[in-house]
Structure 1
Amino acid sequence: MTAQTLEQHASVSSVNSADGTPISYRSTGTGPGLIIVPGALALAADFDPLAAAFAGRFTVHTIERRGRGASGPQGDNYSADAECADIEAVRAATGARFLLGHSFGGFLALEAALKTNAFDRMAVYEPGVCIDGSIPMDWAEQCQRQLDAGKPFEAFLTFVQGINPQTSGKAPRWLLRAIIPLAIKKHERQQKYALLAGTIREHAEEARRNNDYRKYAGITMPVLLMAGKEADKTGAGRAPGRLKDVLPQSELTLFPKLDHFGPEKDPAAIAATVTAFFLGVPR
Structure 2
Amino acid sequence: MDKQTLSKDGTPLAYRRTGQGPAVVLVSGAMSTGATLAPLAARLSERFSVIVHDRRGRGGSGDTPPGAVAREVEDLAALIDAAGGEASLYGISSGGALVLEAAASGLPVRRVAVYEPPFADYGGGAGERAEYRRNLTEALGQGRRGDAVELFLRLTGLAPEMIANARRSPMWAAMEAIAPTLAYDDAVMGDGLVPRDRLASVTVPVLALAGGASPEWLRRAAEAVAGAASRGTYRVLEGQNHMVEPGALAPVLAEFFAG
TM-score interval for Structure 1 and Structure 2 normalised by the shorter chain? 0.7 to 0.9
Contact 1:32 1:58 in 2 (8 A): yes
Alignment of 1:230-245 (within 5 A): 230-233=214-217, 236-245=218-227
Aligned partner of 1:258 in structure 2 is 240
Contact 2:16 2:53 in 1 (8 A): yes
Q: TM-score, normalised by structure 2?
A: 0.86
1:53-82 per-residue CA deviation (whole Å, 9 max, x = no partner) reads: 111111110121110122111x32211111
Aligned partner of 1:195 in structure 2 is 178
Q: Which runs of 5+ in 2 are unaligned?
A: none
1:76-115 per-residue CA deviation (whole Å, 9 max, x = no partner) reads: 2211111001101110121242111111211110011012
Contact 1:129 1:213 in 2 (8 A): no
Looking at structure 2, the residues matched to 191 and 150 of structure 1 have their Cα atoms a distance apart, in angstroms, of 14
Structure 1 residue 216: Cα displacement: 0.7
Aligned partner of 1:248 in structure 2 is 230
Alignment of 1:1-283 (within 5 A): 12-73=2-63, 75-95=64-84, 96-116=86-106, 118-129=108-119, 131=121, 132-133=125-126, 136-140=129-133, 142=135, 148=142, 152=146, 154-161=147-154, 163-164=155-156, 167-168=157-158, 171=159, 173-174=160-161, 176-178=163-165, 180=166, 186-187=170-171, 189-208=172-191, 210=193, 212-228=195-211, 229-233=213-217, 236-262=218-244, 266-280=245-259
Looking at structure 1, the residues matched to 162 and 14 of structure 2 have their Cα atoms a distance apart, in angstroms, of 38
Contact 2:206 2:226 in 1 (8 A): no
Looking at structure 2, the residues matched to 87 and 275 of structure 1 have their Cα atoms a distance apart, in angstroms, of 20
1:170-217 per-residue CA deviation (whole Å, 9 max, x = no partner) reads: x4x246424x479xx733x43322222221342144234745333211
Aligned partner of 1:4 in structure 2 is none
Do the aligned partners of residues 278 and 26 (structure 1) sit closer, same or farther apart at CA in structure 2, a change above 3 Å counting?
A: same
Aligned partner of 1:5 in structure 2 is none
Q: Which runs of 5+ in 1 are unaligned?
A: 1-10
Do the aligned partners of residues 175 and 71 (structure 1) sit closer, same or farther apart at CA in structure 2, a change above 3 Å counting?
A: closer
Structure 1 residue 142: Cα displacement: 4.6
CA RMSD of aligned residues (A): 2.6
- Secondary structure of 2:126 counterpart: coil
Do the aligned partners of residues 119 and 142 (structure 1) sit closer, same or farther apart at CA in structure 2, a change above 3 Å counting?
A: closer
Percent same amino acid among aligned pairs?
Answer: 28
Structure 1 residue 149: Cα displacement: 6.5
- The count of residues paired between Structure 1 and Structure 2 equals 253
